[in-house]
Amino acid sequence: MSLVTKTKYLILFIFLNLVTYFGIQFFITANEYDLLTQFDLHIPFIPEFVWVYHTLVPVIALTMLVLVKKKELFLSAMGAFGMATLALSVFYIVFPSFYPRDSFQVTADISGFVLEWTRLIDGAHNTFPSGHVTFAWLLTFLVGLANCVKKNKLIYLGFFVWASLISVSTVVLKQHYIIDVFSGMALAAICYFLSKVMIFERLQNSS
């Protein structure tokens, strides 16, 4: 699959994902569910993790362009990302949960500035499940099917560590509840399984 074709797919996916997400934020403003637990209250607030948080889109784009070379795997990944986007959108509409971020004041440094900007564009009422966690773990599961990753387990370990750090960033930045992390991982696993069975294996068998 050519680099140009893959780039077009990725641009279209990112565009549709952003339109869907911010469209829901604009129209769904209710804050009906508070999922805060005692465990969440004991998690420290660490603004510096905002840099990890914002690696999501660049890592997805670079991985899909550089590491995912087989057409079957690329299309399967796009299908899986689409399933995840649809599922997340449904949850955000029917289960609008709210995180009280105002209790955690940002610091007066570059990390605090980026986090404050992040909060301005990323509303507090679309938390369950975490989209960051869902896409990070979904990419990690999918990249394990790439030939180069199968030959070098250290690459997969790197993605595992990265997805774990993304998950940590969502809770220490007070963007998400701990239940948002586990539900995001579960959704990623479901979308991975469905895309593998419904798209990847069928495309491989037909080729």
pLDDT tens digits, 23-62:
888 887 777 778 889 999 999 999 999 999 999 999 999 9
The DSSP secondary-structure symbol of 107 reads P
pLDDT of residue 64: 95
Contacts 24+ apart (CB under 8 A), 42-46: 43/171, 43/172, 43/178, 44/172, 45/104, 45/172, 45/173, 45/174, 46/172, 46/173
pLDDT of residue 42: 94
| CA–CA dist 144, 151 (Å, integer) | 10
pLDDT of residue 207: 63
pLDDT of residue 99: 83
* Closest CA relative to residue 35, chosen from 170, 166, 164, 189: 170
| pLDDT < 50: residue spans in the chain | none
| CA–CA dist 104, 62 (Å, integer) | 33
| CA–CA dist 152, 148 (Å, integer) | 6
pLDDT of residue 160: 97
pLDDT of residue 32: 72
Asked if 203 and 76 count as a contact pair (C-beta separation under 8 A), the reply is: yes
Tokens of 31: 């804050």
Q: Using the structure block, give the residue that is written with the tokens 């955690």.
A: 104
pLDDT of residue 122: 81
Asked if 177 and 37 count as a contact pair (C-beta separation under 8 A), the reply is: yes
